[in-house]
Structure formats: C-alpha cells, structure tokens
Amino acid sequence: MILQPYVHPNEPGSCARTRPFGDSVAAPSLEVRVMVTRNSPWPAGTPCWVDLGTDVPKAATFYSGLFGWDIQVGGEEVGGYGQAFIDGKVVAGLGPLQDPSQPTAWTTYLASTDVVADAAKVTAAGGQIVVEPMDVMDFGKMFIAVDPTGAQFAVWESGTHSGVQVANEPGALAWNEHMSGDLAAAQAFYGAVFGYSFDEVGGPLSYVTFSLSEGGQPVGGMGDVGGAGGWGTYFNVADADASVAKVEELGGKVIDAPESTPFGRMATVADDQGAVFKLITSAPVE
C-alpha cells in the first residue's frame, strides 16, 4: 500500500511511547504515561508510522467505533488515502488495497533519512524490494520491502509528513514488534540495515528489544514464534477488556483474550476485515 497522506492542519511538539517489554522507548519511558506529541522527523530506524490496507469506508466505521478516531479521507489526488486523528493529531493511516487479492493488514514504517541508501542496504542484507523508492508528493519518500524471514515492512523518509504525531494515549500507537520463526536472522538483517543494538528481555520468551545505538533506549521488539510471523502493531487503550468487548460488538474477533502481564493487560484481536493488531492497557505506575 502507498502512503499518500491527507494532511490535517496541526502543529504538535515532541513524542514518546509506552512499550510492553522493558522500561523505556525512544525518548520516552514506560513510567511516563502522559500524552506526548511530535512534529519533527523520527530518528532513523524508529517505527514512525502504521497504516492499514483495507476497505477504507468499512475500516473507518470499525476504528472510529473502537478508538474514537476522527478519520479524514482524502480525494483522488491522494488515492483515497485517509488518516486517523485524536484531538487533531494524526495517529495512523487507512489506504485502499492496491490489489484486491491482498489481505487487509497493518504495515509498520521505519524512519529513514535516505530511502535510496536504505533500499540498497536491504538488498545487500538479503531482503527484497517490493515497491522501489518513490516520492509521495511533498509528504516524503518511501519503499516497501520483505525481510529474510518473510515479514513485510515499509521505510519512510519524512517530507512534510513525519509520521505519528501522538502516542501513548488511548487509541494511539504504543509499540511495534517483529515476530518470526528465525529471531537470529531478523536481528542480523535489521542490525545490518538500521544499525540496531539488541537486549534480551529474559523470562520464558525468546524476545529482545532493539534500540538505535548500544545502550540506547528501546524503540521496538523482536521475538521468535517458531513459525511465520511479521510486524505487529499495539494500540494503547484505557481498558483492554472493554475494548475487546467493543471489537466483538463491531464485528471483529478475539484471537487472544485479555491477559495481565508485568507490562500491562494485553489482547490480540482482528478487525471485521481480518486485520490483526494488539491492544494494551499499560500497567499502573508504582
């Protein structure tokens, strides 16, 4: 899917994110659970945007009902691409499927300062370019790729659009993670392309967080699910149980029922078109 944003007039400030694994993310931390915003480009390698390839009108009804999003859909000049807002700040995108045979799915975008150079790194590290680097009007530049584990992702170089403008608030992005059957291959690939540093979480899961430099604050996670996987998206919610009930009311499905963890109460769900995502209510600050 192609990011062709409808730009909402808004001038936010800086950003932070809650994460389910570990104790801090990007400039933010798990302990700081207040709404934060950002209008400058995200540091290279940071998950900076998510969008959904879908039937846009149908998805707009589902997600506005679930998260209270104000969804603004652009015209032909942006290919019918829509953006979701919370209090005037953009949190996600919705775009028509480019191919009717494609399944509806959320895509994670990783920030870049040079998409052409990063596309070359993707190929050199064993990935495949699905959509070559391209300009998206004056909003930015992007490409879409598949990593050696088979997970698809996108890379975004900011122009007038820098990505999500608010996070760590109900209805906004909270965390991105890569799950696959080959954690070592994923680490090798993303380390080569984006220079990630990895830290083991510990416990029963084979899971690491990744940061932009050694000793830096984590910006996402990676884990081994023993089979096919991909990039996953977490959205913050005030009440995971109530949100799961709302998913079902709106025609979606519960894949993993709400479960309490040290990082918050989590659930895995699918929307009424089959797109899978996660919900998380952050653990209380002690």
Q: Which CATH class is domain 36-167?
A: alpha beta
Topology agreement, domain 36-167 and domain 173-282: yes
Token pair 């070592």 is found at 184
Query: Do residues 240 and 216 lie in contact, with contact meaning Cβ atoms separated by under 8 Å?
Result: no
d(CA 139, CA 156): 10
140: left (phi over 0), alpha (psi -120 to 50) or beta: left
Which two three-digit tokens encode residue 186?
């994923």
d(CA 177, CA 207): 10
Tens digits of pLDDT across the chain (286 residues)? 333 333 332 222 223 343 443 332 332 333 334 455 678 899 999 999 999 999 999 999 999 999 999 999 999 889 999 999 999 999 999 999 988 888 999 999 999 999 999 999 999 999 999 999 999 999 999 999 999 999 999 999 999 999 999 888 999 999 999 999 999 999 999 999 999 999 998 777 799 999 999 888 889 999 998 777 899 999 999 999 999 999 999 999 999 999 998 889 999 999 999 999 999 998 765 5
The domain over range 173-282 is classified in CATH as 3.10.180.10: yes
Query: Can you give the pTM of this predicted structure?
Result: 0.88
d(CA 4, CA 93): 9
What is the total residue count of the chain?
A: 286
Query: Which of 242, 240, 234 is CA-nearest to residue 265?
Result: 240
d(CA 98, CA 192): 30
Domain boundaries, the chain: 36-167, 173-282
